[in-house]
Each structure stands twice: as C-alpha cells, then as structure tokens.
Structure 1
C-alpha cells in the first residue's frame, strides 16, 4: 500500500512516527497523524487545513486533544452519554488525578518516558492503521491512483472518535474537506 503514497503522504506518516517519539508514545496514533498533517507545508491537506482555518488554530487543537487524553481518550459525546447515565467523568478524572497525579488516565506520566525512549520505533495503533486503510479506500472511491495527504485528512474526519470530533469542533469536517478540495487545490 505504501507504494501508492505520494511524497506528502509519506512525509505525514514519518512525521507521525516523529510526533510519537517526541511525545514518548509507545504507538503512533490518529492524533500523531493529525499533528503531522498540521506540520505539512505545500500539500493539498495543508492548503485545506489553512482554508478551513485549522492551520492557525494548532494550539487550540492540541489543547482539545490533550483534554481528551486527560479524560482517558473519551470524546465529548462519550462524556455526555456517561453523564446521562449519572457518571460524572470530570469528577472521576479529578479523583484519579488526586490519587495518581496529573495525566494518570492519559498515561502521560514521566515514569514511562524513559522506557518508551529505549523501546525504539513505535508501532501503529489499530486506529492509526485503520486511518491508513481508509485513506486507500477513499482514494480508490475517488478514482485516484495515488494516496495523498488529503486522503489521510479525509480518513481522519471520516472515522468516529476524538480526532474527528476535535477537527469538527475546529471547522474541519469530511464534507468541508471534500468541498474545499472540489474548489480546486493548488498542486503541491
């Protein structure tokens, strides 16, 4: 499948690996793919992210992703659904962090960082692999021959979960990306 990736898409994948290393993560996640897309310059996805206003809101995107990590990876929709059952996720997070320290549910603690640094190249999470596979299906569905970073962005917005929710909260939806691509994106 990687032979179909454009130079820009390959740069996003290697950038995601670097993001995972930088964050001392044992696996590359959808979040790392998004952060690598935000780092891209001169590509179709970078144009779309800029056109939709997300490129200038990186700090807000990162804060929203960090907030979701702090909730143990629960989306706002998950949190609201649990609240409907009488489960107060912010209260649970506060209690866990009171006992185990900040970021306990996110597993962002420093005691893990050194082990992860020694672990070598991180593997891809099941969800990140699913994004890569979905990007291929999107590419084929659009009758295109190569997988570009725009297909990775479309795949991230198409998958339910925290990353798609955070992107949507920042004005980046599947339909919005499609519409922007349809308006004509400068060739990288």
Structure 2
C-alpha cells in the first residue's frame, strides 16, 4: 500500500513515527499522524494552529483519551470527570490518567502502529479509491482521521475542521 503514497503522505507517516518516538517510544497513534500533518503544513489552508491542537490533544490524553461524549455520558450518571482527573493528578501527578502506551503492530519490521492508526492508513486507501485518485496523499490521510470517531476528529472539529471543510478546502 505504501507504494501508492505521495511523497508528502510518506513524509507524514515518517513524521508521525518520529512524533511517537519523541512521545516516549509509544506506537504511532492517530494523534501522531495529525501532528505530523500539521508540521508539514497540510492543514495550513484551513488555518489550523498546531500549538492549539497539540494542547487539546494533551488535554484529552490527561483525561485518559475520553471524548466529550464519554464525559457527558458519565456526567449523566453523576460522575464529574474533571474532578476525578484533578483528584487523581493531585495524588499521583499530572498525566496519571493518560492511557498507557497502546499495543502496536510492526510495520515494515521497525515501526509499531496502534490499531487506530492502522485503520486510518487503510481508510486513506479506501478514500483514495472512492475518489478515483491514483495516489494516497495528505488529504486522504486527513479525511481518514476525520472519518473515525475519537479525540482526534473531535479536536479537529473544535478547530473548525470537519470532513466537509477538509474536502472542500484542500481538494486538489
């Protein structure tokens, strides 16, 4: 599949692997791919600020990767996630609820991928085929990230990036 990636898309995946290494050697996850796309300037036409996105991703990590929908569901049961995070971090230090490094899959014998990032790469191929594009580019990677529920798509939506805005704002 990687032979169908454009040079920029390959750079995005390579950059995501580097992001994962900088994050303590965790397997490459969807958030690493998003941060790499931002570093490459793939979202610049949409006016997305990398620092703000990185801060929002870190905040989600501190909540154990919970989305707002998760928090709202717990709030409906009378559980205040913000209070729980504060108490746990008071007792055990900042980031104590951050999800442990997910189990990864080996890619090409050296890099590990989370199941989510593997699915994003597979989805990027499906999107490219569905659009009748010959190659997989950074737009396809971004659309694949946006097509999956979770903190990455939620953070992007908070910054005004949806599947529709990405497709219309970045289409070649």
- TM-score w.r.t. length of structure 2: 0.90
User: Residues 28 and 125 of structure 1 are in contact (CA less than 8 Å); yes or no, is this contact kept in structure 2?
Assistant: yes
Q: Give the 5 Å matches for 1:7-156.
A: 7-41=7-41, 46=42, 49-54=43-48, 57-106=49-98, 122-156=111-145
**CA gap 1:87/1:25 in 2 versus in 1, 3 angstroms:** farther
Gaps of 5+ in 2: 102-109
Gaps of 5+ in 1: 113-120
* In 1, Cα distance between equivalents of 2:122 and 2:169: 22
User: Residues 38 and 44 of structure 2 are in contact (CA less than 8 Å); yes or no, is this contact kept in structure 1?
Assistant: no
SS at match of 1:28: coil
* In 1, Cα distance between equivalents of 2:164 and 2:88: 38
User: Residues 139 and 167 of structure 2 are in contact (CA less than 8 Å); yes or no, is this contact kept in structure 1?
Assistant: no
Q: Deviations over 1:109-159 (max 9, x none)?
A: xxx9xxxxxxxx551000000100000000000011110111001111111
SS at match of 1:96: helix
| Equivalent residue for 1:162, pick from 137, 147, 151 | 151
User: Residues 21 and 122 of structure 1 are in contact (CA less than 8 Å); yes or no, is this contact kept in structure 2?
Assistant: no
* In 2, Cα distance between equivalents of 1:11 and 1:58: 17
**CA gap 1:181/1:124 in 2 versus in 1, 3 angstroms:** same
Q: CA deviation at 1:166?
A: 0.2
User: Residues 20 and 122 of structure 1 are in contact (CA less than 8 Å); yes or no, is this contact kept in structure 2?
Assistant: no
Report which stretch shifted further, 150-159 or 98-107: 98-107
**CA gap 1:122/1:100 in 2 versus in 1, 3 angstroms:** farther
- Number of residue pairs the alignment of both structures matches: 164
Q: CA deviation at 1:107?
A: 5.3
SS at match of 1:134: helix
What RMSD in Å do the two structures reach over aligned CA positions? Answer: 1.6
